[in-house]
Amino acid sequence: MTTPRKTRDPKTLRPATQLVHGGSMRSSFEETSEALFLTQGYLYDTMEQAEARFKGEDSAGFIYSRFANPTVAMFERRMALLEGAEAARATASGMAAVTAALMGQLKAGDHIVAARALFGSCLYVVEELLPRFGVASTLVDGADLAQWRAAMRPNTKTTFLESPTNPTLEVIDIAGVAAIAHRHGATLVVDNVFATPLLQHPLQLGADCVVYSATKHIDGQGRTLGGVILASEAFINEHIHNFLRQTGPCLSPFNAWVMLKSLETLPVRVAAQVRSAEKIADYLADHPGVSRVLYPGRPDHPQAALVKRQMSGGGTLVTFDVKGGKAAAFKMANALSIVGISNNLGDAKSLLTHPATTTHQRLKPEVRANLGIGEGMVRLSVGLEDVDDLIEDLGHALSVLGAGARRAAE
């Protein structure tokens, strides 16, 4: 007999190693690559075992894939390691994660405070859905801590924010908001999609719960939708566990398998995309057809000091204003040949969108203006193409604006 190989506690490993090995559960076949368990249910050896599993006395086993599934569990375990969270629950989409993280905590008569600059569907949940169930909501300018302080009420149960925000890439002081929330006995939920799990760690900054649309950088290759909620064991058990099991927004094992395999390459992909985003932001900032570049990695970002405190990189998104408003932005985008026109983000393919006419079209013009979303503003999600090809593509597209843009520059 040989002695079994040693295994390291995955918590002691560095993130890139955790993302390759963490959370794996091998079947008796000892497969190298994580297995895909496409099964709805599970067999019990005996009636006694079934009884024990339903009583929760045999927690190692599975009952039904709406509750838990081995492939989904591997994805959750790997995400929990990366985030440094005690517990994780995967969901069918990012919106299922956001909705469960908020509704799981709230009941009629409660109050929520959220930053105004939210992903469109998150804004719907906070502004329209929750009030239908008797939960009052207040929206604040997320960057202004005084507004968070003023909005808190005795019945405020939770607070919610995204940082960096979409599409203006404004950064919100997570530790500052967490301190305000906790002083009032409320929790803080952070949608960490734009920062990715690698560049910002909300739980370490004091947040109680982190949510992701795994659809974005975690899949990273534009294939499947998914989401994940990460928090302490106590938070998950109290607010999330039963809500998800009984209402059913579970992640398909197939999608979990795609995400699980994607996590292996997440650090390599995000690092390459951040490097390219930095170069593109610098290129655009010097371009005469561009009036403003918003990129958290640049020293001219309005909250550069906070970015330095809170993030370890500027992210994979670059937002910029094309001189000449909507007509110029459209003309430029229509002239792109590598960068695709799409509202999606975090893909291996570079994608560009015009928020004023797509993701933020529903908002009144004055609300858009208030959020800093101009008619010439475009948001670029930087992919994995060669950065010089991307710069050439953007340069060519901006050049079609020609004299018009140069005139506007004067």
Chain residues that interact with ligand PLP, rule: CB under 6 A? 93-95, 98, 119, 121-122, 162, 166, 191, 193-194, 213, 215-216, 225, 227
Measured from the CB atom, is 164 or 289 closer to ligand PLP?
164
Q: Is 302 in contact with 170 (CB distance < 8 Å)? A: yes
DSSP 52-90: HHHHTS-TTS--BTTT--HHHHHHHHHHHHHHT-SEEEE
CB of 98 to ligand PLP, least distance (A): 6
The 8-class DSSP code of residue 231 comes to E
CB of 381 to ligand PLP, least distance (A): 10
Measured from the CB atom, is 98 or 210 closer to ligand PLP?
98
Nearest to 159 by CA among 171, 311, 175: 175
71 φ, ψ (degrees, to nearest 5): -70, -40
CB of 321 to ligand PLP, least distance (A): 21
CB of 162 to ligand PLP, least distance (A): 5
- Give the sign of the dihedral formed by CA 298, CA 299, CA 301, CA 303: positive
Calpha distance 362→260 (Å, rounded): 35
Measured from the CB atom, is 65 or 213 closer to ligand PLP?
213
User: Which bin fits 146, alpha (ψ -120 to 50), beta or left (φ > 0)?
Assistant: alpha
> How far is the CA of 238 from the CAs of 88, 105, 172, 207, 285, in angstroms?
13, 8, 27, 16, 47
Measured from the CB atom, is 227 or 297 closer to ligand PLP?
227
H or E segment at 396? helix 387-399
**Measured at CB, which residue is nearest to ligand PLP?**
94
CB of 97 to ligand PLP, least distance (A): 8
Calpha distance 192→84 (Å, rounded): 14
| Per-residue tokens: 360 | 């933020």
- Give the sign of the dihedral formed by CA 381, CA 383, CA 386, CA 392: negative
CB of 317 to ligand PLP, least distance (A): 10
Nearest to 223 by CA among 276, 260, 169: 260
For residue 288, is the peptide bond before it cis, meaning its omega torsion is within 30 degrees of 0? Answer: no
177 φ, ψ (degrees, to nearest 5): -70, -40
Q: Is 346 in contact with 379 (CB distance < 8 Å)? A: no
Measured from the CB atom, is 218 or 272 closer to ligand PLP?
218
Rg of the chain in Å (alpha carbons) = 22
Measured from the CB atom, is 191 or 208 closer to ligand PLP?
191
> How many residues are present in the chain?
410
Alpha helix stretches (DSSP H) within 84-231:
94-103, 120-124, 130-132, 145-151, 174-183, 196-199
CB of 116 to ligand PLP, least distance (A): 14
CB of 91 to ligand PLP, least distance (A): 9
Measured from the CB atom, is 39 or 343 closer to ligand PLP?
343
Measured from the CB atom, is 122 or 306 closer to ligand PLP?
122
Q: What is the largest CA-CA distance in the chain?
A: 81
Measured from the CB atom, is 315 or 324 closer to ligand PLP?
315
CB of 55 to ligand PLP, least distance (A): 35
Measured from the CB atom, is 177 or 332 closer to ligand PLP?
177
